[in-house]
Homo-oligomer: A and B are copies of this chain.
Amino acid sequence: MTASSFAFEPWANTHQQRIEQVLSGVLPTDELLPERLHSAMRYAVLGGGKRVRALLCYAAAKLVGTDIIAADTPAAAVELIHAFSLVHDDMPCMDNDDLRRGKPSCHKQFDDATALLVGDALQSLAFEQIAASQAPQALIQVQVLAQATGSRGMCGGQSIDLQSTGQHLSLAALETMHQYKTGALIRAATMLGAYSAASTDHALLMTLDQYSRNMGLAFQVVDDILDATADTQTLGKTAGKDQAQDKSTYVSLLGITEARTLVRKLHDDTMQLLSSYDQAADPLRGIASFICERSF
C-alpha cells in the first residue's frame, strides 16, 4: 500500500479545525474568574501552530482503530503541554523571544508573571482533562504524558539545552538533548493516540513507538535546517537564533547537506516501517512526509 491515493492536506485541515474547536471548549472562557489569566491562556493556545502533535495523536488513534472522539482529549492535552512549554521557553529568563506564531509572545502581550502562571495552569489543565475523560487507558495516558513533560522529558531537555549553550556538543549529546526536549513529547503525542483505544495490540505499540522516535528526530533536524535557511516571516518566529546563540545543532555538526540526507533516510525508514499497514496508516505516512519534506 502507498500513500499515493490519500490526500494529506484536507485530512490535516479537517483535524486542525477539529482540535482548535476542542481546545476552545476545553479552555475556560475569559469571562470566568480570573479573567486575565484565562484570556492569556486562550491567547497562548488558540489560533496558531500546525498542531503536529494533535495530528500525530489523531493519526495514531486512526491506526489503532479508535473512534475519533476518543482521541480529542489526548490530542488537546498534548497541545496544552506544548503551548505551556512555548510560553515558558519564550520568557526573558529562558530564550527571551518576543515573537511566537507571528504574534507577540505571551509575556510580551501580557506580562512575565501572567506568562509564568499561564504555563503552570496549562500543564494542570492537560492532566485534568485526561483524568476527567475516564478513558479506559486514561491512567496510562497521564503517565506517558507526565514522563514526557518532566525532568526526564521536555523540561529536562530544556535544562540540558541551557547548560550546553556556548559549548560544542557531540552528536550523541545533541541527540540525547533533543530526545528529551522535543522527541519525548512527539512520542507522547503518538502514544496517547495509541492508548486512546480500550486496549492496544503490542505489535502496534512497538510500530508506533519506532514511528514516533523517527519523527521526533526528523522534526528536530528539520527545525535546525529551517532555522539556518528560512527567514523570520516564513517561520513566524525569530530565525537564525541557533547561530546567533552559538548553539550546537544538527546543521552545525553535520552541515546542511548531510542533515538533509539524514531527514531523507528517516523518511524512507518510516515508510518502510508502515509498509505492511493499509490505509489506516495513511495519516501517519502523510505526517511523516509533511514533517520531512519541509526541509527537502
Chain A residues in the interface with B (C-beta under 8 A): 28, 32-34, 36-38, 41, 84, 88, 91, 93-94, 111-114, 116-117, 119-121, 123-125, 127-128, 130-132, 134, 138-140, 142-143, 146-147, 149-153, 155-156, 158-160, 162-163, 176, 180
Q: Is the CB of B147 within 8 A of A128?
A: yes
Given the interface pairs A36-B163, A143-B128, the reply to whether A150 lies near B121 with Cβ below 8 Å is yes
Task: Look across to chain B and name the residue whose beta carbon is closest to the beta carbon of A93.
Answer: B112
Inter-chain CA distance A249–B156, complex, in Å, is 38
Inter-chain CA distance A180–B37, complex, in Å, is 13
List the B side residues contacting A41 at CB < 8 Å. Answer: 151
Q: Is the CB of B128 within 8 A of A34?
A: no
A199 to chain B, nearest CB (A): 16
A163 to chain B, nearest CB (A): 6
Copy number of this protein in the oligomer? 2
Q: Is the CB of A114 within 8 A of B162?
A: yes
Q: Is the CB of A114 within 8 A of B34?
A: no
15 A-B contact pairs sorted by A residue (CB < 8 Å)? A34-B180, A37-B151, A84-B120, A93-B112, A94-B116, A117-B155, A120-B120, A120-B123, A120-B155, A121-B155, A125-B146, A127-B142, A131-B140, A131-B142, A139-B139
Nearest 7 Cβ contacts at the A-B interface: A124-B150, A128-B146, A93-B112, A131-B143, A37-B159, A131-B142, A121-B151
Q: Is the CB of B28 within 8 A of A117?
A: no
Q: Which of A125, A143, A151, A155 has the most CB of B within 10 A?
A: A151
Inter-chain CA distance A18–B88, complex, in Å, is 34
Q: Is the CB of A124 within 8 A of B146?
A: yes
The listed residue (B38, B91, B153, B162) touching A151 by CB distance below 8 A is: B38
A37 to chain B, nearest CB (A): 4
Inter-chain CA distance A117–B123, complex, in Å, is 13
Given the interface pairs A119-B120, A121-B150, A143-B128, the reply to whether A37 lies near B91 with Cβ below 8 Å is no
Q: Is the CB of B113 within 8 A of A37?
A: no
Given the interface pairs A37-B159, A155-B37, A159-B37, the reply to whether A124 lies near B121 with Cβ below 8 Å is no
Q: Is the CB of A33 within 8 A of B113?
A: no
Given the interface pairs A28-B151, A131-B139, the reply to whether A162 lies near B124 with Cβ below 8 Å is no
